[in-house]
Amino acid sequence: MMLKSNGNAASRMSGVVMALLACLAMNSLVAADDTEKTSDVQLKDLTLKVPASWEKAANTSSLRLATYKIPRTEGDKEDGELTVYTFAGGGGGLEANLSRWVSQFASDGRKSKITQGKVGENAYYIADITGTYNKPIGPPFAQQTEATPGYRMLGVYLVLEGKGVYFLKLTGPDATVKAQAEKLRKSFGADAARETAFEL
């Protein structure tokens, strides 16, 4: 007696195999992204682990230690930008700088969250702000801005004990900045899971 093959069972098995292969492929992509090659960049007393996808750009101000072009997320029309700088004496203090970053977004529709953490003995604070960004345009001395909706900023106030305060400011379209948040933290050793809320 000949047994007939069960077409439905074979089809189901094929579907399961395809689903498993798809999951493995996705996991491989995630792993590749998580292990993106980085290079150590020394900026005075600050060492950053800079991902290979961040493109070094020219500094438009003598106050900047470094500028990077951050690749846009698919669907966004612009790249992001990371600037790094430091000031003697802390540049006006913690709360003044956090408030200044928040004020660079129009109050209407603005959302902001500030967290704090530590990397070893070094404290840091991150302002995560979304909304309409008053984006600087033209030469810095002109102090001109353009209202740009759908933007996000991650502003980092990093205190290197005994060495000064460093500022890292990542700005760009919301999705682009959100996609780079973990890489920004890893660049100076931060961990979002260990951060706590900070109130101005």
Residue-wise pLDDT for 113-129, tens only, equals 999 999 999 999 999 99
| Residue-wise pLDDT tens digits, 30-39 | 434 457 999 9
Give the position of tokens 């959100």.
Answer: 178
pLDDT at position 31: 39
pLDDT at position 11: 52
pLDDT at position 18: 52
127 pairs with which residues across the strands? 114, 155
pLDDT at position 29: 41
Burial of residue 58 (CB within 10 Å: 0-12, 13-18, 19+) is exposed
CB neighbours (10 Å) of residue 59? 14
pLDDT at position 143: 82
For the chain, the domains span 37-197
The phi and psi torsions of 63 (rounded to 5 degrees) equal -80, -20
Query: Can you tell me whether residue 101 is helix, strand or coil?
Result: helix
CB neighbours (10 Å) of residue 7? 8
pLDDT at position 14: 53
Which residue numbers in the chain have pLDDT < 70? 1-34
CATH 3.40.1000.10 fits 37-197, yes or no: yes
Query: Can you tell me whether residue 43 is helix, strand or coil?
Result: strand
